[in-house]
Chain A
Amino acid sequence: MSDNSNSNNNNSIDHTKNVLVEKHISYVVNLDNKKEEDFEYWVTEHLRMNGMYWGLTSLYILKALDKMDRDVIINWVLSCQKSNGGFSGNVSHDEHLLSTLSAVQILMQLDALDRLDQDLVAKYVLSLQQEDGSFFGDKWGEVDTRFTYCAVSCLSLMGKLDLLDNNRIEKIADFINRCKNFDAGYGCIPGAESHAGQTFTCVGALAIINRLDLIDRDQLGWWLCERQLPNGGLNGRPEKTSDVCYSWWVVSALSVIDRLHWIDNEKLRNYILKCQDNETGGIADKPGNVPDVFHTFFGLCGFSLMSYFDMEEIDPTYALGTKTLLKYNIKLPWNKKL
C-alpha cells in the first residue's frame, strides 16, 4: 500500500501500513541528544554497549549505517575493554559477557575487528566456563543460558570456537539440554520455566556449536508458533500479552529451525507496524507505548527476518547482518538463501 493521497506531509504517512524508515533513522541517530532531559537515559547508562549495538544494527537493517560516526564509536567501544579482556557496559562500569558480545558485534559490524586483541577477549570468555558446561556472566558467578549464547557467539565470531575441544562442546550441549522443558522450550537454568528469549539463546548456541540435532523441531516449532496471539503479536510465554521484542526471540528461533512459516507473518508484520511511533519514530513494545531502541531494533529484525520492506538481511543466529558475517567467512548453514 502506498500513501500517495497525502504524500507531502511526512507526519501523515499511515504507519499501520508503512514502515517509517526515515523517522526510525532519525530516532536512532538522535538517541544521544536526549540525554540532557531524559532520566531514563541516565539509569540505563550501564546498558550503553548493548544500546549501541541495538542502534547500530537497526541502522544497518535500514541501510543507513553511514549515519553514525564510525571512529567515535570504535574508540568508545575500545575504551570499555578491561585489562582481563572483557568489556563493560560503559566506560566506568564493570566487564560482563553481555557487553563483551555486544562490543565484538559492534566492531564486526563496523569492520574493525582487527583493532581488537581477540586472544585476550577469548581468554576472558573461556575463563567463565564451568565444569558442567554452563557459563558465568562475569566473575561473580551468575549462571544463565544467555551467557552460554554470549560465550559461544563471541568465540565463533572471532573464529575461535576451536578453542573449545570436543569434550567442552559436549558439556555445553549437555547443559543446554538440561535447560529444556516439558514444552520443548528452554529456561535460564535447569528447572526454570521456558521463555522465548531463553529459547532463542539456546537454539542460537546449539546452532553455533552445530548441535541442532538435539532439538525436536516440530515440538519446539509448535510451542513457538503458539506464541502468536489473535492480534498478530507474539508473547514470550503462554497466557502472557504480546510484545514487539518477541518478534526477534520467537521469529529468530523459528527461522533457525526452519519453521518461520508456522506463524502468520503478515499478521505479525501488521502488529509491529502498529507499534511504530508516528511522531518521533522508533518502535514501542505495544501499540501506543513509548518507543525505545531495544524494541526498535527487535521490530526491525522482525521485518528483516520475514523479508518485508526490502530491509537488509539479519542473521537469526548471530543477530548481525548476513553480509557482514559472510565477509568474515562465517558459515550460516541455517540460511536457505545461501
Chain B
Amino acid sequence: MHGVLKVKTTEEKARELKVKELLKIKEYKEVVSKFQEHKSVGVLDQIGLDISKTVLEWNPEYYTVWNYRRDIFNHFDNTLEKEKVQELLTKEMKFIEECIQRFTKSYWVWFHRKWVSVRLEKCDWARELKLCYKLLDLDLRNFHCWSYRRFVEERSGMPMEKEFGYTTEKIEQNFSNYSAWHQRSSLIPQMYPQPEQLFEKLKEEFEWVRNAVFTEPKDQSCWIYHKWLVGTIKKIPNCNYKDVLLSEVDEINGLIEIEPDCKWPIYTLLTLKMELGVQDKSELQELVDKLKTIDRERINYYLSLEKQWQ
C-alpha cells in the first residue's frame, strides 16, 4: 500500500466504515466467485468477457482475469469472423482506457493494452499518443506511460525529432521532470550518430541546460543530465571537448558566486576540474571540503572521491 494516511476516527465513524467495508467485501467476493465458476466450466465465450470485466472494474491487478480474457480472444480468433474479433478488440481498447485512467500504475493493465494494440489491424496510434499526452500531463513521472509512449512511437514510426521536441516542452514546463531528461538522453545519440554532429549537438545542449541549472540550481535532474553531457562529449573521438568543459567551468563559477551554498554547482565544478586534470590539487580539495560540510549524508562518497588525488 502506498500513500494511505492513517486517520483517527471516532468509534461511531469506525463502526460505520466497517459496515461499508463488509458490504464491499461481500459484493466483491460475489463478483469473483461468479467469475471463477464460469471460468471453471472452461467455456471461452462472450459471457466470460462480460463477467471478467466486472472483476477487473473492481480490481485491475487480478492478473489471472486479464489472462483469461486473452484466452478468450485467442479462442475467438479461431472461431469467429475476423471483423467480429476486430470489433471486440476495439471495444477492449476502450475498456482498458477506462481502467488505465482509474489505475494509472498497474503493470498488468499496460501490458494488456500493448497485447491488444498489436492485434488490431489498424490501431489508431495517433489516438494512443494522445492518451499518453493526457496521462503524462496528469502525472509527468508515470514510467508505465512513458514506456507505453516509446512503444507507440516505435510502432507508429514517429520521427525522433518530434519526440525530442516533446521532451523540450515537458522540461520547459518543469525542470524536475527527470523522465523527460532521461528520454532526451536516449534520443540524442540515436539522432546524431555521426561524431561531428553529436559534438555540435552536445555543445548546444550545454547551452540549453544552463537555463535550467541557473533557474533551479537545487534540482538534481538537470545536473545529472549535465553530468551525462560531460561523460558523453569526452568520449567523442578527435574532438576538442576540453574547450567546451573549460567554458562550462567559467559559467558554473558564475553560478557559485550567486549560490555559494548550493551543492550541485560545486559538485559539478569539482568533477569538471577532475576531468580537465587540474594541476593544483588544492583547488579540488577546497571544493570537496565544502561539499563535506554542506552535504553531510554523503560524506563517505566525498572521502572516497578525494582519494583519487590525495
Contact = CB atoms under 8 A, between A and B. Distances in A.
Most buried by B among A44, A262, A263, A286: A262
B301 A262 contact: yes
Given A238-B224, A292-B1, A39 B28 contact: yes
Interface stretch (A161-169, A187-195, A328-336): A187-195
A277 interface: yes
Nearest to B59: A43
Interface in B59-87: 59, 61-64, 67, 70
Contact of B301 (A225, A230, A240): A225
A302 to B, nearest CB: 15
Contact of A140 (B5, B67, B220): B67
A243 B1 CA distance: 11
A289 B6 contact: yes
B228 A183 contact: yes
Contacts of B18: 37
B296 A181 contact: no
Contacts of B225: 182
A182 B186 contact: yes
Contact of B220 (A189, A218, A239, A286): A239
Most buried by B among A46, A195, A288: A46
Most buried by A among B24, B225, B297, B304: B297
A94 B67 contact: yes
Chain A interface mostly = loop
Contact of A181 (B24, B186, B300, B301): B186
Chain B interface mostly = helix
A238 B5 contact: no
B253 interface: no
B150 interface: yes
A43 B32 CA distance: 10
B163 to A, nearest CB: 11
A94 B296 CA distance: 48
Contact of B178 (A239, A285, A286): A239
B63 A277 contact: no
Contact of A194 (B22, B64, B182, B301): B182
B293 to A, nearest CB: 14
| Interface residues on chain A, size class | 35 or more
A318 B277 CA distance: 41
B3 A42 contact: no
A146 to B, nearest CB: 9
A263 B297 contact: yes
B79 to A, nearest CB: 20
A144 B227 CA distance: 27
B15 to A, nearest CB: 11
Interface in B142-189: 143, 146-147, 150, 176, 178-179, 182-183, 185-186
Interface in B220-250: 220-221, 224-225, 227-228, 231-232
B297 A37 contact: no
| Interface residues on chain B, size class | 35 or more
B285 interface: no
Nearest to B58: A43
A92 B40 CA distance: 10
B264 to A, nearest CB: 10
Interface string A270-298: 00000001000000111011101011000
Contacts of A94: 63-64, 67
Contacts of A144: 107
Interface in A84-140: 88-89, 92-94, 96, 138, 140
Contacts of A174: none
B91 interface: no
Contacts of A140: 67, 70, 111, 115
Interface in A150-209: 181-183, 187-189, 191-195
B4 A264 contact: no
A5 B50 CA distance: 62
Given A228-B298, A289-B3, 10 more contacts: A42-B25, A43-B28, A141-B115, A142-B111, A182-B225, A191-B150, A193-B178, A193-B183, A226-B220, A284-B1
Interface of B: 1-6, 18, 21-22, 24-25, 28-29, 32, 36, 58-59, 61-64, 67, 70, 107, 111, 115, 141, 143, 146-147, 150, 176, 178-179, 182-183, 185-186, 219-221, 224-225, 227-228, 231-232, 296-301, 304
12 contacts: A39-B25, A46-B63, A92-B36, A96-B63, A182-B228, A192-B146, A222-B301, A232-B297, A243-B2, A264-B297, A267-B297, A290-B5
Which 3 pairs of residues, A with B, have the shortest CB-CB distance?
A: A182-B185, A264-B297, A182-B228
Interface of A: 37-40, 42-47, 88-89, 92-94, 96, 138, 140-142, 144, 181-183, 187-189, 191-195, 218, 221-223, 225-226, 228, 230, 232, 237-240, 243, 259, 261-264, 267, 277, 284-286, 288-290, 292, 294-295
